[in-house]
Structure 1
Amino acid sequence: MATANDRAVLQTIFNPSTPFGDIPGLDEEEEDVQEEGETFAPELLEQVRDLELQGVSAAESGDVSTALERFNEAIRLLPERASGYNNRAQALRLKGDVAGALRDLDTAIRLARGCGRAACQSFVQRGLIRRLQARDEDARRDFQRAARLGSAFARQQLVLLNPYSALCNQMLCEMLGRLRNPNSAGSD
């Protein structure tokens, strides 16, 4: 049985663009259902989750208008729950309403008080939007906050935003390539 450190070393060898020690699935958070159940009425929470699932399915099938309707209904029923705003932000972004998506992500972060899975997802989404807007410093801050909340994807984005890290990863890839195939080392 491999230890966590062994898996981290193997992950670095086979996927050198990921940060050392970043093992897929090791630090993924599961939604804290019990906490939400204590905060919101269980029947209402179940109804809202069902609406969100319908919205996600609609968005995945390309029906963004229906997705937005479902997310709007979920938010109307539980306006204090961050998840609905996260989902609607994604649908708004797909629709091309980046400003609306950013507003919803800010709301989700505020409602989640900057912690937990909902805030983590919001920071990642907002970081990606900011990266597309060439606002790399703002994106970096969002990815740092998401990484602190456990997002492996955010840590990967931080590596990509760091030119020194990217150069080190490139050199590591080249070195590993030469170690795997020593006969091609002189052909460069």
Structure 2
Amino acid sequence: MTFAHRKLLVASTLASAAFMALAQTPAPPAAPPAPTAVDAQPAPGTPRAGGADRRDPAVMQQRMEQGLAREKARLQITAAQEPAWNAFTAAIRPDPAQWARMQAERGEWAKLTTPERIDRMRAERNQRDAEIDRRGDATKTFYAALTPAQQKLFDERPMMHGGPGSPDGKGGPGHGHGPHGEHGAPAAPGAAAVPGAR
């Protein structure tokens, strides 16, 4: 077969394939699936995985209170341990004033220059580190007030900061990272379990 014949054969094959592709009638569009119970939107103010309610401070507070009540019952906190429990829960609760301040400052970031943003991020990191230390100290103090059996139960739970076994029963940030760090990476060996730590 000569070179010219090969070119002609290839060109005719490609033309035939293109013609057949154009000649086929497109399939009719599929009808949208019927809505199911899973697709139904929960009532406003009810917990759900996503949406605006997820970040509603009142909803978050309600979930935290429910989770803490379950944890208190699970640990079987005694009357003598009640002051330690109250101090612990007060220390791990988020500050509503801080949440409101963060929401109010959200629009200000667009007005900052890059160096100002870097300085702001550093200041916020220092605040978070101080908060983590405060919560860690409160957790250690509470842990010391528990009986050995209660300590074992407390140790079985992932952190109190939103891990899969946390009081709210939800995942951590992103709800997919779990207790092993960012994107499933194992936590650092010997890393202390501190509420609010990431």
What TM-score do you get using the length of structure 2 for normalisation?
0.31
What TM-score do you get using the length of structure 1 for normalisation?
0.32
More helix by share: 1
Bigger CA radius of gyration: 2
